[in-house]
Amino acid sequence: MKIAHIAPRLSFGGGTERFVIEVDRAMRELGAQSRIYSATTSLKPDYLGDIAVSTRLARKAVRERCDVLFFHQGQEAAVFFRNRAAFSYYHEAKYDLVTGPSGSAYRTLLKQPARRCPHIICNSRYTASRIGAVLDRDDILVVYPGVTMHPEESDRVSQDEAFCYYHSRFHPRKNHDLLLEVFSGLPYQLRMTGGTWDQKFGKYQQEVFRRASGMFNLHVIPDINETMRKLFLAEAALFLFPARDEPFGLALLEAMGSGKPIVALNSGATAEVLGDTGVLCSHSVQEWRRSIALLLSDQELRVSLGRKSLERARLFPWNKTAKEMIELADGWN
């Protein structure tokens, strides 16, 4: 059985792209013939454009005798391949993100082919509920992403000065604004890293930089490399996750896999991933401040929550993700 992962914008480096790379690797380690089909494109992220590119890539995969197609972007293209094992894997509740004056018409245009896609998989029960509500489908499956464990990093907390850490792309939904407000009234250090590849969110990123520049305890570092990101994560005393309506949260799971205690916003799939291993907060700034202050003042509690994070993360190995997807492919092939 030959498996194709259809992902037009693999070079963008977000959670979807990391998922595709990791699950492809894990499938090959399990003995499956797995390959990624991507395209170098200068097009901005665009749902209709993704459908066109995904259709072209899938046709190439079919010509090269792939038996199974997993669509990770342009998922609606699966409707053109109903005569074979074609799966649409949704990494986010994408139809909720279509807004603006023309949003309703655009969403309707996207929904029609999606409703006829043969098989739909989502990365969390939360995403499945949102996609199912829009498409009026109750047959959506859930296969969770995975994590590479780094348990040794729980013991590498910086001895110079304890700091909190948040890594994410710059997007209003990632809710950096909440942390700016929280830390404007705290004496503790916060480091935020990430970038954005979508020009329409460039102004949001610049506003975050502007506000952070006036705060003595907040450091924003854009576009860091993977080595630096892992170093910051290893040395952080706490990992913070304020994202709204999060479809899964790979950055959250990676922090858990490094044995970090977590303070997170109770929104989207965050509680589904975190379980009872961290501190879930509402949108209340005061609640966030109290939770962060409590954990930074209590090393024993931080160590205890870090261990719980680690044990919870062990439930999400990449080979489990790959195995479940291979089993689905076997069942429909």
Is the per-residue pLDDT at 12 higher than 70? no
- Give 252-268 pLDDT, tens digit per residue: 999 999 999 999 999 99
Within a domain: residue 156? no
Q: Does residue 206 sit in the same domain as residue 98?
A: no
Mean pLDDT, rounded, for 81-110: 83
Report the relative pairing of strands 85-90 and 189-194 from DSSP bridges.
unpaired
137 and 255 housed in the same domain: no
Q: Please list, in sequence order, all residues whose beta carbon lies within 8 angstroms of the beta carbon of residue 43, skipping any fewer than 6 positions away.
A: 49, 53
Residue 127 has pLDDT above 90, yes or no: yes
Residue 152 lies in a domain: no
Per-residue model confidence as pLDDT tens digits over 45-86? 578 889 999 999 999 999 999 999 999 999 999 999 988 899
pLDDT digits (tens, 9 = 90+) for 184-240: 999 999 999 987 766 667 788 888 888 988 899 999 988 788 899 999 999 999 999
Whether residue 153 is contained in a domain is answered as no
Burial profile 124-152: b = 16 or more Cβ within 10 angstroms, e = fewer: bebbbebbbebbeeeebeebbbbbebbee
Q: Are residues 190 and 278 in the same domain?
A: yes
44 and 110 part of one domain = yes
Return the higher-pLDDT residue of 41 and 164.
164
Q: Band the pLDDT of 24: cuts 50, 70, 90.
A: very high
Question: Residue 6 has what pLDDT?
Answer: 98
Residue 207 lies in a domain: yes
The answer to whether residue 305 is domain-embedded is: yes
d(CA 3, CA 318): 17
Given a contact cutoff of 8 angstroms between Cβ atoms, the answer to whether 208 and 170 are in contact is: yes
In a domain, 132, yes or no: yes
114 is in which domain, residue-wise? Answer: 2-146+317-331
pLDDT bin (cut points 50, 70, 90) of residue 157 is: low
Is the same domain home to 237 and 253? yes
pTM over 0.85: yes
Same domain as 33, residue 125: yes
Phi, psi of 191 (to 5 degrees): -115, 130
pLDDT grade for 333, boundaries at 50, 70 and 90: low
CA neighbor of 87 nearest in space, from 33, 141, 132, 136 = 141
The pLDDT value given to residue 99: 67
Across all residues in the chain, what is the average pLDDT?
Answer: 90
Query: What is the average pLDDT across 82-99?
Result: 88
Same domain, 175 and 134: no
| 278 domain-assigned | yes
Residue 5: count other Cβ atoms within 10 Å of its Cβ. Answer: 26
Same structural domain, 176 and 128: no
Q: Which CATH number covers residue 263?
A: 3.40.50.2000
* Domain shared by 56 and 115, yes or no: yes
**Structural domain total, the chain:** 2
